[in-house]
Chains A and B, each alone.
Chain A
């Protein structure tokens, strides 16, 4: 009896402990508007924007103080984009969301928290910045990787996350698919063969983009990482002697979207600040911060200022060419769809 009771004791201690921790942090984030002088808003965003919004929030706080004389405090939350959307649906008190995919914001809209038509609430389909998919290789590029077809060569080890578990990883797949489409003029059999050859070279398939970067950079696996441009730029900035970016001839334009979570903002009385917060993303000042952090500014003049950072000659497709996100999911990533077809046929 003592064996079991000891195990029970330990587990119950852990349970109680974790409940306490959960309770304390829960209370911490729940005490909004405690100080009436400062307005508090919460921005729920996705993983790689951490550094961007840290810098942006500082800039916005001083801008808003100057304009209205009021103090704002912005609380950030980061995580996988899909998971973040789910947490807002399930009740996280976000005033604004800045997520990786328009589709994730649509999920929140369907839950009734965001009013329909949010896509046109801000300029350029509510995407103040964009990004794309590039190839990150080790310095010297020993395997001679210059474009997507080099990833199909024997002996090239590719690192990319699993599209079936990470929404972000779907973009990698679609970018490669688009290249094959251009190359084979829409011959689907050949396109499948081509993309299959790339995925046959994948040695480690992480569950998310950050995990894949860790595998490639920290654990030294693989020759090439299929990555978000902003992640690749951040990696190269951190280790300029170890990595270089290869821009493929063809890729896909990703448009991260922003929106005010209308229901929450109404409840918190933050509608005006929240709107201002997102509008400020389009100002020159903010666009420069965006460019500095490796995202492509939507303002063309400022984008050109960063021409040395971004390869502006890449031929970029976008999700609409695949019939929108929901259609792409049906066609490619659903159980038994194209991704399963090319990736499982080798398993049997």
Chain B
């Protein structure tokens, strides 16, 4: 992957200069300039003001809630994502194409629609939440559990779409070889298949996790936003600040979020690079 980034001339199809220029322009307009403005805005605060905002109890709780719930959701998504991808790649069944398409629904459905629907279904009077509450006394909407469910919903396509192509390319010869060499099914799965999937799984996990930390639309309706119960997420706190035109506080929190996401992606990339080095050496 890293090699592709190097400057190269003499290709069959010319136009490097033009496309590279457009890429840089698009990147600047869409990503770099807005991010720089976040940085710039938050520098208007003095360090003590900045720290004061970041260390407010509701901000700290929101970070704990966002990161914790997004992590749990990403873990659950990884497990179910493998299963889903496995089913979609390895077996033939009717309506497989349709099911495959449905996976992408969370990408294109407005997240607010998803949030409202989920909160209704999982509320104590809803179609799923109702029986759960009546029989087991479980509350889902307006708790952390509801929050995690919303994050699972929006995160699942990242994992499935990351794993699917790798599974498709994974030759069943490996499994057959493992079987012939006397490995049990469990051993084959954990020692042969999972290591092959790991980089893809990590990418999917990372994307789902990063998306979950910043999610707004779908969680806002199901989380209850109650400071007392620590169900406020970071993006909600940012919206609170924006509603009162406190741009500086909002960007201060956004900056911390940006840093967390950056560290996260960096961390995942490092693991991936190590992994690919190891597998290439064999």
Contacts and interface: CB of A to CB of B under 8 A. Distances in A.
B236 A335 contact: no
Contact of A6 (B56, B161, B243): B161
B188 interface: no
Contacts of A344: 57-58, 227
Interface residues of A, number: 43
Nearest to A161: B225
A219 B161 contact: no
Contacts of B227: 205, 343-344, 347
B203 A4 contact: yes
A335 B249 contact: yes
B56 A335 contact: yes
A211 B219 CA distance: 13
A1 B123 contact: no
A10 B107 contact: yes
Contacts of B111: none
B240 interface: yes
Interface string A305-336: 00000000000000000000000010001110
A205 B225 contact: yes
A25 interface: no
B282 interface: no
Nearest to B53: A335
Contacts of A205: 224-227
B142 A221 contact: yes
Contacts of A219: 119-120, 123, 125-126, 141
Contact of A221 (B123, B207, B249): B123
Nearest to A82: B243
A347 B124 contact: no
Contacts of A220: 123-125
A14 interface: yes
B158 interface: yes
B165 interface: yes
Interface stretch (A32-40, A128-136, A162-170, A274-282): A162-170
Interface string B189-202: 00000000001100
A205 B226 CA distance: 6
A164 B240 CA distance: 6
Contact of A165 (B104, B108, B124, B239): B239
Nearest to B230: A347
Given A165-B243, A204-B224, A3 B142 contact: no
B220 A207 contact: yes
Interface string A153-178: 00000000010111100000000000
B74 interface: no
A348 interface: yes
Given A219-B126, A335-B56, A7 B249 contact: no
B1 A211 contact: no
B225 A165 contact: yes
Interface string B137-173: 0000110000000000000001001100110000000
Interface in A68-127: 80, 82-83, 86, 107
A344 B30 CA distance: 38
A346 interface: yes
Contacts of B244: 164, 329, 333-334
Contacts of B158: 7
Contacts of B116: 214
A202 interface: yes
Contacts of A165: 225, 236, 239-240, 243
B150 to A, nearest CB: 14
B13 interface: no
Contacts of A334: 244
Interface string A1-22: 1111011001000110000000
Given A200-B228, A220-B125, 19 more contacts: A3-B166, A7-B203, A10-B161, A15-B30, A107-B245, A164-B243, A164-B244, A167-B243, A203-B142, A204-B226, A206-B225, A207-B236, A215-B123, A219-B141, A221-B142, A329-B244, A335-B249, A343-B228, A347-B58
Q: Which 10 A-B pairs have the closest CB atoms?
A: A220-B125, A219-B123, A165-B240, A164-B240, A204-B224, A205-B225, A204-B142, A205-B226, A3-B200, A3-B162
Interface of B: 1, 4, 30, 53, 56-58, 61, 104, 107-108, 116, 119-120, 123-126, 141-142, 158, 161-162, 165-166, 199-200, 203, 207, 220-221, 224-228, 230, 236, 239-240, 243-245, 249
